[in-house]
Structure 1
Amino acid sequence: MTAGKDHGSRIKHAFTSRLQLRPPVDDDPRQLSSGKKTLIIISIALCAGTSGFSSTIYFPGLPAITSDLNAPPMATTLTAALFVLFMGIAPVIWATFSDYYQVRRILFMISMAIFGVASLGSTFLNNIWGIVVLRCIQSVGSSCGQSVGAGVISDCYPVEQRGAAFGKYFFAVFLGPLLGPIVGGFVIMSDYSWRATFLFCVALAVFNIIFVFFSLPETYRVDEKFDTQLPVTNAPSPVGETEKASGPNSLSETISDVDEHGANKIPAQKVVKTDVPEAICQTGYFYGQDVSVAAVRWWKIA
């Protein structure tokens, strides 16, 4: 009976913590299990791939949109051109929010909610200019994963392991625009015609929100909390002697400032590598359908 109560209490606590807008990050995300990290990559890759996917899914329905709404060609073209434009602007804004409020997870759900609402509105509109506006909002909502997703990977992986993680992540980013026209070609054959593409986007947004809610914990990692810097002591030591701090887990050491002949030498300095995951989020990137990430690293001389 006690075990059952404890299990129920843990489930309730886990569910309640997921409802928090800014849950505390008490454990280093880099210490998560490989299975948990895989789920995290899948969740952020789904959100990141949604942007490119939604930009191309309705391309097969463009002739039907022009015909049904009696739309001028310029307006129809703007639904695609402005979508790509906001794909380049919005990630920088989302990254700024992530860095300022020190959150990742809630931004994915908010952005997918914006994307879903804009998609639902586009389903029922009969005015091409209204669709142009909602396509811009769609783009803003779907673009969060392009920058904040990179920040999540930086939170969860040390520098030497990020290459493989980014490879899996960007596989979905590049796959999205390729799958969009294929899926769009199938769904426009339904009774809803081109409007079915927006209904599909609504379903995708709901799925992403649910998946993120259950699989993605808050990962925003504060360097000062989890990263240990090596202290440096410049006190002189006997000739040729190197003193190390006691204890097998100690990270500090003092190195002699004179060589074996008694001559003075430059005091030893430690080079401490400090990761800045926020730098990836603050890097604006996206031009057309090509994505690039600039990972910035600082080297601090202690």
Structure 2
Amino acid sequence: MNRTAIVYLVSLAAFLGPFTQTIYTPILPEVTKDFGTSSFLVNLTISIFTFFLALMQMVYGPLTDTKGRRNVLLFGVFLYITASLGCFFSNSIYVLLVFRALQAIGIAAGSVVAATVIGDLFEGKARGKAMGTFQMMVSLGPVAGPIVGGFLGGRFNFHSVFLVLVLAGLLIWVGNFIFLQETKPEKQLAKTFRLRDFIPILRHRTGSSIILLGFIQYYAMYNFLVFLPSILTERYGLSAEEKGIAYLAMSCMIVIGSFIGDAFKGIGKSAISFWQHHI
């Protein structure tokens, strides 16, 4: 199998993270009603997923160096499939919270392994192009999630959302099981996970600035994700399908912003190169 196809295959695993995070946000009021619980607990199913999705990426990084890229990805996606099936059969909000956490713990491997495999297979400009494909697939997650979730929630019920995630995860697991070969260099040194390794990043001005900007971005997006459905339901009386479409503007802007960022990054590199050669 060619390297380009591998990029798309592993990027699909990364796509599942943001896709799963946003897929049932349009139907949060329906989930609250179905479980007969509070909005706080239902919103917690989004925040707990986001928390573990971020946390486990720090854990999976060193694991890809010790256990291998392929093993880590297959394990993570398998755990994700099992947890999604648990979400489908959940009959209480507390059971759903547990399986949502397990979902995130599993699928967090997707983006880490995808980026690592791309780094193993490509160099120079080819690596930049492959990473662009990876970023595009990740950006499509929040675009497709609310639309698919709104459609399924309107036609069926919110449990059907998790059944779709089971099927999607299964297809991606099978594809990577068949086609993905281990890309870890034989002589690569294994690294252990240590929290103190992140201290220099936090102390560095650029590193801390990026983390702060990322926090602000995702904090704003999280508030948008969890509070908009109630507003659209209570104030405007929109159906589940209509609420899914209402997310389309924000989702499209995420994709457009990603492309603009890549374009300016390329312009910046070209400008630096020009000045280095002419001054």
TM-score normalised to the size of structure 1? Answer: 0.62
Residue type of the partner of 2:92? Answer: N
Q: Tell me which of 11, 23, 42 is aligned to 1:57.
A: 23
Deviations 1:108-131 (A, max 9, x none): 111111111111111111110111
1:99 corresponds, among 32, 46, 65, to 65
> In 2 relative to 1, CA 223–160 (structure 1 residues): closer, same or farther, beyond 3 Å?
farther
Unaligned runs of at least 5 residues, structure 2? 192-196, 202-210, 222-253, 262-279
The CA deviation at 1:95 is 1.4
Q: Name the CA distance, whole Å, in 1 between partners of 2:70 and 2:173.
A: 10
The answer on whether the counterparts of 2:65 and 2:190 sit within 8 Å (CA) in structure 1 is no
Alignment of 1:130-169 (within 5 A): 130-169=95-134
Residues 98-157 of structure 1: CA distance to partner in whole angstroms, max 9, x if unpaired?
Answer: 1122x1112111111111111111111111011111111111111112212111011101
Specify the alignment match of 1:201 in structure 2: 165
2:150 match: 185
CA shift in 2, pair 1:174/1:277, >3 Å: farther
SS of the residue aligned with 1:189? Answer: helix
1:66 corresponds, among 29, 32, 38, to: 32
5+ long unaligned stretches in structure 1: 1-34, 225-275, 293-302
Whole-angstrom CA distance in 1 between matches of 2:173 and 2:122: 23
Residues 49-100 of structure 1: CA deviation (Å, up to 9, x unaligned):
1000000011122111100111111101100111111111111111121112
What is the match of residue 47 of structure 2?
A: 81
Whether 1:210 and 2:191 are equivalent positions in the alignment is no
Matched letter for residue 172 of structure 2:
N
Q: Distance in 1 between matches of 2:4 and 2:16?
A: 18
Give, in angstroms, the shift of residue 162 of structure 1. Answer: 1.2
User: In structure 2, what is the Cα distance between the partners aligned to 1:145 and 1:117?
Assistant: 15
Distance in 1, matches of 2:89 and 2:12, equals 26
- CA drift of 1:277 comes to 11
What is the CA-CA distance between 1:205 and the residue it aligns to? 0.8
Q: Which runs of structure 1 show a deviation greater than 4 angstroms over 4 or more consecutive aligned residues?
A: 282-287, 289-292
Higher relative contact order (CA 8 A, sep 6+): 2
What is the aligned-residue identity percentage? 29
Distance 1:190 1:116 in 2: 23
Pairwise CA RMSD of aligned residues? 2.7
Superposition deviation, residue 210 in structure 1: 0.9
Count of paired positions: 203
- Among 186, 189, 200, the alignment partner of 1:222 is 186
- 8 Å Cα contact 1:111-1:141 kept in structure 2: yes
Q: TM-score, normalised by structure 2?
A: 0.67
The residue number in structure 1 matching 2:90 is 125
Partner of 1:254: none
The CA distance in 2 between the partners of 1:76 and 1:176, in whole Å, is: 21
Measure, in 1, the Cα distance between the counterparts of 2:148 and 2:70: 28
1:187·1:196 contact (CA, 8 Å) conserved in 2? Answer: yes
Separation of aligned partners in 2, 1:114 and 1:142: 8
Which is richer in strand? 1
Whichever structure has more helix as a proportion of its residues is 2
